[in-house]
């Protein structure tokens, strides 16, 4: 028997335990004021042996809260000793008040109550300062005056409050139940100081302390800063400024980080008062305070009502997802009945109908994953008796208690054989596109995510079959994948799931486990091993090769550019290499940006840079191709330098600039996304839809024209061989053709034709995998191939490089004068 459940336990503990008696019910509780964060226990005992039920309530602020098990409280009952106990695992100001225990049997109720006195400390301290930053002129030591505020919930505790050891008093009391302590401090401004820390401390009657600090940035001399922008003050680089001011009817804060010389986007965390009240109620519910179906319905009703308002913001959406997650965690301790289900589904459905695009991509991914897990968990944790289920605009729920379950949610047929238990099937619309799909960047996901959970089952082997209707035709080169949402990695995975083709335009998804499922149609294979590693390594090699090539061109330019033809060729090669170098650097920067939190503006700049430099590279390739064709066809009409210069500048740089600008303006005007923020590259929506086609179509045209140019060169060589007629010349012709292909393929971008073949051919199987690797290797190493063919394979450039190396080498010992003369003569002949 628990000692606190025996009335005799008070003997010897009179200094610690008091007893309140009401009739035959006795409540034992700590007599003295208990410390903050302690773990007090109270017990309630009935004298006679009776059978009935116990309940606990907490009365504070004139409101009666029903108590139940939660994250901060544990309630136990002992029928043998006719007692019940309340154990508070972590005491805060939330638990101070009058505790009432009641024993009921039929219509008879016995009650007793007692007050738990707590030495309070603030649960939350909000600090602000005026000004928000300090400006210290260079080489000047001066004093600054700063007003610092600390706001807490009003309390009966008589705190001793100090700011940096200076005592303060209450300066303001607000209608919302908060009080503010203020202190004016003189701060010495030193040029060597980057920031100043102000600390406020609250001490209660038990001499317990709780402190909170705020950092005030200091602007020293010529440090990089972000300029003043409306309510945001001038701020040094690397600091985040928090402004705790919100529009009327909203509470919270706004913050902004300076990355100098620009500000990052403002993060608005001002939520509506209704959502904030629901958030506080959900936190209490999770702790064990006010745990009733009525409270839960009130929380979800607030979410449903606020999501119908036109003022519903990104901050409201984010807070609503947090509330769903809190309620999910709370229901793992206290299950709810289906009286809550309809209100909960209505609120969750409304949230999916809002614009999630206004939220930062990284935050949106976390929100959508938390949303899915919370909705799935809440449905699983509710006692739902209605086998017909419930449905809303974006969520549909079906319940099955049969041995064989065959249900349909939003047109998706779900089949599951189980030995026992209850199957909860959940269909969710408008969610798959909000989840993190970066490991399937070219995938077109089904609009429906299906979740299936099995409760109270004794079976171990599970096989679930899902028939997803495919709303678009399966094109060549496409694969359909059956995937599930991995809650540990927060990404889609194929482990334990396979796709099998069926008739009637449906995909058959079969899995050996239960969770949230979807199917996607992928245009390209992005799941081959080491493909990303090959891309990054090859691109790095290309960047180094292009730097070497440009350096060599700069050193040998005057020696190798002796004619108009060589001038045209080397000018084109240098510009091709320069554009490819900048394009590869932009690509690597975009890859790093897409995998980390970065401003969307930087992602946009990198997308624009990639499109421009890649298209400029192809345009310069076209310049080289046109020049070569002109020299072959118009042999006696050489191209003038002035004509070539104008043609190359217009075609090489002006045309790409026009294409990129027109693409961006067009999608901005249509209010459609120009780039994909998850990859920092152009957007692909569907065939012939998306900004990617503004890149594919011009590049495809140029590659086709360059192939045509190569064909003309090869035909010219064949023609000269046929007119000669000798076998020796035929061999030379074959060699010449091979040289043409090897020399012109890198600088004409012919390897990019593999990419266009992958778009039109069926890429499944071994051939498709081979083409993926071939395309990745050849194109990532394009800069390396340009170095080989444009530099080391050209005799004149090679000789000049060797001459420079020999000129810089020490003389060989014992070299005779005749040998020197021979070397000089040989060189002069060349």
158-172, 320-334, 432-446, range with the lowest pLDDT: 432-446
Q: Which CATH number fits domain 126-268: 1.10.20, 1.20.120, 2.40.50, 2.60.40?
A: 2.60.40
Residue from 678, 700, 682 nearest 691 by CA: 682
276 near 320, Cβ under 8 Å?
Answer: no
Write out the two tokens for 32.
Answer: 């003295």
Q: Which of 107-111, 626-630, 696-700, 808-812 has the weakest average pLDDT? A: 808-812
- Full 3-state SS string of 243-275: ECCCCCCEECCEEEEECCCCECCCEECCEEHHH
Rounded to whole angstroms, the Cα distance separating 466 from 510 reads 6
Q: Which of 47-56, 77-86, 329-338 has the lowest mean pLDDT?
A: 47-56
Listed range (93-102, 684-693, 759-768) with the worst mean pLDDT: 759-768
Phi then psi dihedrals of residue 29, to 5 deg? -155, 160
For residue 11, pLDDT over 60 is answered with no
Count of residues in the chain: 830
pLDDT, residue 630, reads: 75
- Retrieve residue 539's tokens: 């691109």
Higher pLDDT, 38 or 140: 38
- Give bridge partners of residue 444 from the DSSP assignment: 521
Calculate mean pLDDT across residues 576-587.
90
Label residue 612 by pLDDT band (50, 70, 90). Answer: very high
HSE on the CB side for 341, CA within 13 Å?
A: 26
Whether 721 has a pLDDT exceeding 50, the answer reads yes
Class of domain 3-116: mainly beta
What pLDDT band is residue 830 in, cutting at 50, 70 and 90? very low
Phi/psi zone of residue 12: left (φ > 0), alpha (ψ -120 to 50 degrees), beta? left
pLDDT over threshold 80, residue 484 = yes
Give the confidence band of 492 by pLDDT, cuts at 50, 70, 90.
confident
Greater confidence (86 vs 715) lies with 86
* pLDDT value at residue 634: 67
If we measure between CA atoms, which residue out of 522, 524, 476, 473 comes closest to residue 760? 476
pLDDT tens digits, residue range 120-136?
999 999 999 999 998 88
Q: Residue 452: CB partners within 8 Å, gap ≥ 6?
A: 414, 416, 423, 424, 425, 426, 464, 514, 515, 517
Q: Which CATH class is domain 531-798?
A: mainly alpha
Distance (Å, whole) CA 656 – CA 694 = 11
Same topology between domain 291-522 and domain 531-798: no
Residue 324 tokens read as 């769903």
Are the C-beta atoms of residues 391 and 411 closer than 8 Å to each other?
no
User: How far, CA to CA in Å, does 105 sit from each of 50, 79, 85, 115, 481?
Assistant: 8, 13, 19, 25, 59
Which of the two residues, 209 and 631, has the higher pLDDT score? 209
Q: Strand, coil or helix: what is 70?
A: coil
Residue 810 pLDDT level (bands cut at 50, 70, 90): low
Query: What is the pLDDT at residue 795?
Result: 79
Domain boundaries, the chain: 3-116, 126-268, 291-522, 531-798
Say how many C-beta atoms besides its own lie within 10 A of residue 578's C-beta. Answer: 18
By C-alpha distance, which of 444, 486, 450 is closest to 466? 450
Residues linked to residue 229 through DSSP beta bridges, in sequence order: 232
CATH number of 291-522: 2.60.220
**Structure confidence by residue, pLDDT tens digits, 402-454:** 777 888 888 888 888 765 678 888 899 988 888 887 767 666 677 788 888 87
What distance in Å separates the CA atoms of residue 1 and residue 8, rounded to the nearest whole number? Answer: 12
- Per-residue CA distances from 795 to 129, 792, 801 (Å): 71, 7, 10
User: What confidence tier does 571 reach under pLDDT thresholds 50, 70, 90?
Assistant: confident
């Amino acid at each position: 028997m628990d000692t606190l459940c025996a009335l005799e336990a008070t003997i010897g503990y009179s200094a610690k335990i008091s007893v309140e008696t009401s009739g035959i019910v006795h409540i034992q509780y700590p007599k003295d004021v208990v410390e903050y964060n302690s773990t007090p226990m109270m017990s309630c005992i009935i004298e006679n042996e009776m059978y009935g039920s116990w309940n606990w309530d907490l009365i504070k602020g004139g409101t009666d809260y029903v108590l139940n098990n939660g994250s901060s409280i544990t309630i136990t009952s002992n029928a043998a000793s006719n007692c019940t106990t309340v154990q508070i695992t972590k005491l805060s100001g939330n638990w101070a008040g009058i505790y009432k225990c009641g024993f009921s049997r039929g219509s008879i109720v016995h009650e007793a109550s007692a007050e738990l006195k707590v030495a309070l400390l603030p649960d939350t301290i909000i600090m602000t300062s005026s000004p928000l930053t300090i400006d210290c002129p260079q080489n000047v030591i001066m004093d600054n005056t700063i007003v610092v505020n600390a706001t807490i919930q009003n309390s009966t505790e008589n705190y001793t409050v100090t700011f940096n050891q200076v005592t303060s008093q209450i300066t303001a009391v607000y209608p919302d139940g908060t009080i503010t302590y203020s202190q004016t401090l003189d701060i010495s401004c030193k040029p060597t100081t980057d920031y100043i820390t102000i600390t406020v401390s609250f001490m209660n009657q038990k001499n317990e302390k709780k402190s909170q600090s705020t950092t005030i940035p200091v602007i020293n001399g010529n440090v990089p800063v972000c300029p003043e922008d409306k309510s945001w003050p001038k701020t040094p680089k690397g600091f985040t400024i928090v402004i705790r001011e919100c529009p009327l009817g909203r509470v919270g804060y706004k913050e902004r980080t300076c990355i100098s010389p620009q500000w990052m986007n403002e993060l608005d965390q001002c939520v509506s008062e209704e959502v904030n009240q629901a958030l506080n109620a959900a936190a209490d519910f999770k702790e064990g305070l006010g745990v009733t179906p009525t409270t839960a319905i009130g929380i979800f009703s607030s979410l449903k009502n606020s999501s119908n308002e036109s003022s519903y913001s990104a901050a409201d959406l984010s807070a609503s997802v947090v509330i769903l997650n809190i309620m999910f965690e709370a229901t793992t301790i206290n299950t709810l009945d289906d009286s809550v289900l309809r209100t909960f589904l209505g609120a969750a459905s409304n949230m999916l109908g809002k614009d999630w695009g206004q939220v930062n991509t990284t935050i949106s991914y976390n929100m959508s994953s938390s949303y899915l897990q919370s909705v799935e968990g809440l449905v699983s944790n509710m006692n739902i008796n209605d086998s017909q289920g419930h449905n809303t605009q974006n969520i549909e729920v079906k319940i099955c208690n049969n041995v064989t379950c065959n249900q349909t949610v939003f047109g998706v047929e779900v089949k599951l054989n189980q030995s026992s238990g209850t199957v909860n099937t959940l269909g969710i619309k408008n969610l798959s596109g909000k989840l993190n799909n970066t490991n399937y960047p070219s995938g077109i996901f089904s609009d429906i995510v299906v979740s299936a959970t099995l409760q109270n089952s004794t079976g171990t082997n599970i096989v679930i079959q899902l028939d997803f209707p495919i709303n678009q035709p399966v094109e060549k080169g496409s694969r359909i994948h059956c995937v599930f949402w991995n809650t540990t990695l927060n990404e889609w995975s194929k482990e334990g799931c396979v796709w099998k083709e069926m008739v009637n335009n449906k995909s058959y998804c079969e899995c050996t486990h239960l969770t949230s499922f979807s199917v996607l149609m992928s245009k390209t294979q992005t799941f081959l091993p080491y493909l990303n590693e090959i891309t990054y390594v090859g691109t790095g090699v290309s960047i180094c090769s292009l730097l070497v090539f440009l350096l060599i061109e700069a050193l040998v330019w005057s020696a190798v550019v002796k004619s108009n033809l060589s001038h045209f060729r080397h000018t084109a090669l240098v510009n091709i290499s320069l554009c490819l170098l900048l394009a590869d650097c932009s690509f690597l920067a975009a890859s790093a940006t897409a995998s980390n939190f970065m401003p969307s503006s930087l992602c946009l700049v990198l997308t624009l840079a990639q499109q421009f430099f890649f298209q400029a590279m192809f345009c310069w390739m076209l310049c080289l191709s046109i020049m070569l064709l002109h020299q072959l066809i118009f042999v006696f009409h050489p191209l003038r330098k002035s004509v070539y210069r104008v043609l190359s500048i217009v075609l090489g740089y002006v045309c790409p600039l026009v294409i990129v600008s027109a693409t961006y303006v067009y999608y901005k005007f249509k209010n459609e996304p120009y780039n994909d923020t998850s990859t920092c590259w152009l957007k692909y929506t569907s065939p012939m839809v998306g900004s990617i086609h503004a890149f594919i179509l011009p590049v495809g045209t140029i590659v086709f024209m360059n192939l045509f140019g190569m064909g003309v060169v090869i035909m010219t060589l064949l023609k000269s061989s046929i007119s000669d007629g000798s076998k020796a010349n035929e061999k030379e012709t074959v060699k010449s053709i091979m040289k043409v292909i090897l020399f012109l393929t890198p600088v004409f971008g012919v390897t990019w034709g593999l990419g266009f073949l992958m778009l039109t051919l069926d890429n499944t199987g071994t051939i498709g995998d081979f083409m993926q690797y071939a395309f990745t290797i050849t194109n990532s190493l394009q800069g390396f191939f340009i170095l080989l063919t444009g530099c080391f394979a050209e005799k004149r450039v090679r000789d000049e490089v060797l001459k420079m190396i020999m000129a810089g080498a020490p003389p060989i010992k014992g070299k005779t004068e005749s040998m020197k003369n021979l070397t000089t003569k040989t060189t002069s002949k060349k």
